Structure 1
Amino acid sequence: ALAFSLSPLVLLWSRIAVSDALFSGCLAVALLLFWRTWAEPQQFWWPGWAVLGLAVLSKGPVALALAGLTLLGFGWRQQALLPLWRRLRPLPGLALTLAVSGPWYGAMLLVEGRPFWDSFFGYHNFQRFTSVVNEHLQPWWYFLPVLVVASLPFTPLLGLGLVRGLMATTTRSLPPSSSLRSFAACWLLAVLLLFTLAATKLPSYWLPATPAAGLLIALAAQDGVARGGRSQAKAAPDRWFQRAQGLTVALSGLLAAALWASPAWIPLIDDPEMPTLPGELLASGYVLRAALCFSLATLAGAWFWLRTRTPGPGWLLGLQLPLVAFQLLAVLPMWQLGDGVRGRPVRAMAAAAAQLARPGEKLAMVGILKPSLHYYSRRVVLYEGTTADGLANLSDRLRSERRRNLEPSSSMAAPTVLMVIDAATAALPHWRSLKGAPLFSSGLYSLWRVERGRLDQQASSLVRTGKARVSWRDPRPERY
């Protein structure tokens, strides 16, 4: 559990409001239930399929692809495809998965129709796999460094566990209950294979592999002596394990050194959305807390490594406990600090808009787009980008867009619009020409009151001269 929860990828994405963490958790539970059904025939066959339905609900049919690849690889690796098929009963199992996930998809198709089909299945599943979207083009080997970083500082143990999982003796000489290492290796490789083949690649795509990586790390740590386990408890020390152990301690030490040196590199952080972050981070002392935790982990790991010739899982726990403190004493406070620096100006904009808005006055945000403005303001926000098209779109949307809690209005009925705009966007000629009246500013953002008549006039001029076109009605799978 600690090998999984201390993954840098898990620490990061577990605090981001996206479905990847829920999907990875549901898929992990489903796959572990499948393995348990294989390892213990007296177990019910259906729980894994029911939980797989929840994974399909959270992210779509990619759950079926990952589960199928894992089980096919495992069955082939164990030379037991037919016995695995009989034990897991995939035909009634898939029917149960469909019964769990199907009603919601059916309801969405009834309510939303073709747009839901085209967006969810066509764009977010098929198109993301077959073509590059949002400029997320990466080389074929992209997930190899992600694998390394996502398991730090335990990557050497992961490598050892993966190799031994792939080299593990098949079921002809070992009972199914001893096949967890091989199952975890097939699970990790299924994620690696599927998303390496995908045209669009993102770090979060590796999340479904992190539970498998945690299993491989923990199982490798139990190999304190040469392969053979308890029956060879008096055998010579496992040299490969000792090398992986030493590399893990060394990586922990390198991370500690990098964190102690943070006053040299933190000032190099340049994020226009968080200009004060480097100073606040250095002043907080949180990074030095992190350095202390990694130093303690390094010392504990080195002590076990040097003092114990045949260490067991207690060595791994000794290294992990300071990293649990790292999460509590450094990661959580740093996350709250970063969220405050990034989110504070947006919250201030939302409060100012609520206080200064006139009756019927709409709210727009242009340039840097923050969905959290909608959350904090509790009202519809019209989002547009930095280009001249964005200005033309905003003018047209104010006049003609109709949806829940948004009615079209003329410049006579609603002569002004509130606009949240960042400094870089405000400097562009087509936005600067609006001559918005500044009402409030916080961080990068300013709140303007813009005359609708001037906005419409500028939009008309840009469209007439061919510098912009009204494009907001064009099909666009990802829009706020």
Structure 2
Amino acid sequence: MILLKSKERLLTFLVVLVFGIIIFLLGLGSTGLVDETPPLFAAAGKAMSESGDWLTPKVNGIFRFDKPPLIYWLMGLFYSLPKNEVWDSLGTISARLPSALASLFLMLMIGDTIYCWPQKGDRKLSTPIVASLSFALSPLLIVWSRTAVSDALLCGNLGISLLLFWRRMASNKKENCISPWFFLGLAILTKGPVAFVLASLTIASFLSIQKDWRDLLDKIKPKRGLLITVLLSLPWYVLELIKEGRPFWDSFFGYHNFQRYTSVVNNHAEPIWFFLYVMIIGSLPFTPFLFHGIFEAFKDLKTSFKKDYTPSESLFIYCLCWLGSVFIFFSISATKLPSYWLPAMPAVAILTSYSYLKLRNQKKTFSSLWIINLFILFGLSIAFFLSNIWLNTINDPEMPNLASNLLSTGIIFKAKLFFFAFAFVGIVLFVFRSHNIFLYLQLLLLLGQTVLMPPIRKLGDTSRQLPLRNISKQILNTRQGGETLAMIGIRKPSLHFYSKQIVFYESRDAEGVINLSERLTFDRRINFQDKPNYDNESFLVVIDKYSSIEKHWSNISHQKLGVHGIYNLWRIKKSDLNAQATNLLSNGFEANWRNKKVEKF
């Protein structure tokens, strides 16, 4: 019997692993980095690898204190692997692997947890797979797990930590409790104190409704565990504070933590119910089942006050506390971003699988929920059949031909066929009352994701990022005597990443001319890759076509070297730039570059 269970557990693990590889790793390096944030992370990681300075993240010759170093360390580790430039020619595999692997490992942990701790007597092998796919097939997870930023890595480390905490509390075995505190330390090294706050809120809210909360708290060994977490996560903060002092404190703790939570940063102001929208969209197309799972978990919570139940039966209540902690904490935050919802996604997936588990024995609810869900599927299908209407509303200045390209490449037609088939299969399975309809539709969605997403990613890369890679190649071939490089108008940090040069980013307005003139004299940055010759009489400029028609830029005498997409490459003499800057100063314009916040690339 033990051998059979071991084989079943291994089989479940392998099935989830294969699905995770398809979703998170397949084609990971087939497209370039997507501006604007991922190239900043990638550049910092690559800088650590090539410079040997693994303590302080730097990008474009300036400090980057917005996130702790774990994401940069992992990226730098992959960039340091032998022949990296061969197997990662676009530089994207190394940058995206930390996020992808974190989501893959968390997906495996979700499946294994539900397999090893079946709830309400559930013994079906399909439940761990449904829970794992509910996590991995979320639109939010797919996007951020394949993006070179720290959100998915935080979700992975914090999610594994919280699941391990619950498993320890649910277990009757005497075991050490190092692993959950270890992963919590990694989560703090990924995105700062927010990881500790979310973990504390989840565990505290769960223990507050437990009669034997002291015994459960003792199981996770908080004193010893906190020491492990502190020893793992705190040294970098101390060393960085000693080395950089006030700038690090003001930037990381002041701006990126306290100010982001208490005031609106970068115009990311949203209503207090914003994460309700995110929760609905992030769980599509199976959102009704999430709300059903939440409702059932609330019923269990109410029942738990009336009768005793073992800790091993409390997973769904624990996930309810988890989801609620993330929802309340970030709803109060003044700055709100969709990615803030990612730490709640493991709880969302497990609660969704609870709906799957409950619906096996609730025929009336089964019918009602699937009718609602079929309407959602039909709505998605109709949306693609009406694509000629909404495609015309797309107005992306960086991809002016996006709508026509979507039609000409056949992507929209394939999406129409897929969502029509998706809805049709759903109806057939519903009519035949298949209890595994949820799993079958997830597998169909997995198939659709592998068919539809690669060409969409390729189209976006060709339209938006390929011109920047091509112009970076031309810069490397055209640059003379260490000329400095500037980018005007649309700001793309991928230009710095691919050209490997210091780039001065300026706005298209008149002040941008004056700023650039002064910065080439006073803001003389260098880094390990590039030491520009600031005394060269000319410099290179990448300027988008919308900025290039502004008179204060077009009137500067320039040599046009190339055109790539919406971007032009110019060579300008500094004397001509300075003359235009002097003219604008006499007309009342002023420089404002010294007043800009830190870490503006």
TM above 0.5, one fold?
yes
Residue 109 of structure 1 aligns to a residue in which SS?
A: helix
The amino acid across from 1:381 in the alignment is V
Matched, 1:305 2:430: yes
**1:294 and 1:472, CA in 2 relative to 1: closer, same or farther beyond 3 A?**
same
Residue in structure 1 matching 2:537, options 402, 407, 415: 415
Residue in structure 1 matching 2:385, options 260, 272, 286: 260
Partner deviation per Cα, 1:319-345 (whole Å, 9 max, x = no partner): 111100111000122112112210011
Are 1:364 and 1:420, in contact at CA under 8 Å, matched by a contact in 2?
Answer: yes
- 1:457 is displaced (CA, Å) by 2.2
Per mean C-alpha deviation after superposition, the further-off stretch among 458-467 and 32-41 is: 458-467
The amino acid across from 2:422 in the alignment is A
How many angstroms apart in 1 are the aligned matches of 2:314 and 2:431? 31
Partner residue in 2 for 1:6: 137
Segments of structure 1 that go 5 or more residues without pairing to the other structure are 227-236
Are 1:289 and 1:326, in contact at CA under 8 Å, matched by a contact in 2?
Answer: no
Residue 208 of structure 2 aligns to a residue in which SS?
A: helix
The amino acid across from 1:282 in the alignment is L
What are the within-5 Å matches in structure 2 for residues 105-184 of structure 1? 105-168=237-300, 169-170=303-304, 172-184=307-319
The amino acid across from 1:477 in the alignment is V
**1:93 and 1:357, CA in 2 relative to 1: closer, same or farther beyond 3 A?**
same
- 1:92 is displaced (CA, Å) by 2.1
- 1:71 is displaced (CA, Å) by 1.1
Partner residue in 2 for 1:232: none
- Point out which structure has higher relative CO (alpha carbons under 8 A, 6+ apart): 2
How many angstroms apart in 1 are the aligned matches of 2:590 and 2:510? 5
Residue in structure 2 matching 1:251, options 376, 383, 399: 376
- 1:247 is displaced (CA, Å) by 1.5
Are 1:273 and 1:444, in contact at CA under 8 Å, matched by a contact in 2?
Answer: yes
Residue in structure 1 matching 2:437, options 303, 315, 323: 315
- 1:409 is displaced (CA, Å) by 5.6
Are 1:419 and 1:449, in contact at CA under 8 Å, matched by a contact in 2?
Answer: yes
Partner deviation per Cα, 1:421-467 (whole Å, 9 max, x = no partner): 01121222322232322111122111111110121222233345431
Residue 473 of structure 1 aligns to a residue in which SS?
A: helix
Partner residue in 2 for 1:274: 399
**1:360 and 1:214, CA in 2 relative to 1: closer, same or farther beyond 3 A?**
same
Residue 140 of structure 1 aligns to a residue in which SS?
A: coil
Are 2:483 and 2:532, in contact at CA under 8 Å, matched by a contact in 1?
Answer: no
Partner residue in 1 for 2:176: 44
How many angstroms apart in 1 are the aligned matches of 2:582 and 2:241? 38
Residue in structure 1 matching 2:217, options 79, 85, 95: 85
- 1:64 is displaced (CA, Å) by 0.8
How many angstroms apart in 1 are the aligned matches of 2:523 and 2:598? 18
Partner residue in 2 for 1:362: 484
Partner residue in 1 for 2:598: 477
Residue 200 of structure 1 aligns to a residue in which SS?
A: coil
- 1:80 is displaced (CA, Å) by 4.3
The amino acid across from 1:174 in the alignment is Y
Segments of structure 2 that go 5 or more residues without pairing to the other structure are 1-131
Per mean C-alpha deviation after superposition, the further-off stretch among 105-114 and 187-196 is: 105-114
Partner residue in 2 for 1:381: 503
RMSD between superposed Cα atoms in Å: 1.9
Residue 563 of structure 2 aligns to a residue in which SS?
A: strand
TM-score for the superposition, normalised by structure 1: 0.92
Partner deviation per Cα, 1:241-265 (whole Å, 9 max, x = no partner): 4322221222122212222332443
Matched, 1:28 2:159: yes
**1:443 and 1:148, CA in 2 relative to 1: closer, same or farther beyond 3 A?**
same
How many angstroms apart in 2 are the aligned matches of 1:8 and 1:284? 22
Partner residue in 2 for 1:196: 331
- 1:70 is displaced (CA, Å) by 1.0
How many angstroms apart in 1 are the aligned matches of 2:304 and 2:232? 34
Matched, 1:283 2:408: yes
How many angstroms apart in 2 are the aligned matches of 1:189 and 1:181? 12
Per mean C-alpha deviation after superposition, the further-off stretch among 97-106 and 77-86 is: 77-86
Are 1:363 and 1:419, in contact at CA under 8 Å, matched by a contact in 2?
Answer: yes
**1:44 and 1:256, CA in 2 relative to 1: closer, same or farther beyond 3 A?**
farther
Are 2:562 and 2:568, in contact at CA under 8 Å, matched by a contact in 1?
Answer: yes
Are 2:481 and 2:533, in contact at CA under 8 Å, matched by a contact in 1?
Answer: no
The amino acid across from 2:140 in the alignment is L
Residue 594 of structure 2 aligns to a residue in which SS?
A: coil
Residue in structure 1 matching 2:462, options 340, 349, 353: 340
The amino acid across from 2:428 in the alignment is W
Are 1:399 and 1:409, in contact at CA under 8 Å, matched by a contact in 2?
Answer: no
Partner deviation per Cα, 1:409-430 (whole Å, 9 max, x = no partner): 66xx311110000112122232
Residue 77 of structure 1 aligns to a residue in which SS?
A: coil
How many angstroms apart in 2 are the aligned matches of 1:95 and 1:332? 45
- 1:79 is displaced (CA, Å) by 4.1
Are 2:489 and 2:506, in contact at CA under 8 Å, matched by a contact in 1?
Answer: yes
**1:110 and 1:332, CA in 2 relative to 1: closer, same or farther beyond 3 A?**
farther
Residue 92 of structure 1 aligns to a residue in which SS?
A: helix
How many angstroms apart in 2 are the aligned matches of 1:477 and 1:286? 41
TM-score for the superposition, normalised by structure 2: 0.74
How many angstroms apart in 1 are the aligned matches of 2:205 and 2:363? 28
Are 1:401 and 1:408, in contact at CA under 8 Å, matched by a contact in 2?
Answer: no
Partner residue in 1 for 2:420: 295
**1:157 and 1:443, CA in 2 relative to 1: closer, same or farther beyond 3 A?**
same
Partner residue in 1 for 2:365: 240
The amino acid across from 1:353 in the alignment is I
Residue in structure 1 matching 2:579, options 444, 457, 460: 457
The amino acid across from 1:258 in the alignment is A
Residue in structure 2 matching 1:434, options 556, 572, 596: 556
How many angstroms apart in 2 are the aligned matches of 1:328 and 1:408? 44
**1:477 and 1:183, CA in 2 relative to 1: closer, same or farther beyond 3 A?**
farther
Residue in structure 1 matching 2:569, options 447, 457, 477: 447
How many angstroms apart in 2 are the aligned matches of 1:272 and 1:476? 26
Residue in structure 1 matching 2:526, options 393, 404, 408: 404
* Structure 1 stretches of at least 4 aligned residues deviating more than 6 Å after TM superposition: none
The amino acid across from 2:431 in the alignment is L
Partner deviation per Cα, 1:357-399 (whole Å, 9 max, x = no partner): 1112111101101111111112211111223332222112211
Matched, 1:187 2:187: no
Are 2:188 and 2:195, in contact at CA under 8 Å, matched by a contact in 1?
Answer: yes
Residue 222 of structure 1 aligns to a residue in which SS?
A: helix
The amino acid across from 2:265 in the alignment is V
How many angstroms apart in 2 are the aligned matches of 1:131 and 1:300? 47
Per mean C-alpha deviation after superposition, the further-off stretch among 192-201 and 140-149 is: 140-149
How many angstroms apart in 2 are the aligned matches of 1:36 and 1:30? 10
How many angstroms apart in 2 are the aligned matches of 1:166 and 1:76? 15
Are 2:359 and 2:365, in contact at CA under 8 Å, matched by a contact in 1?
Answer: no
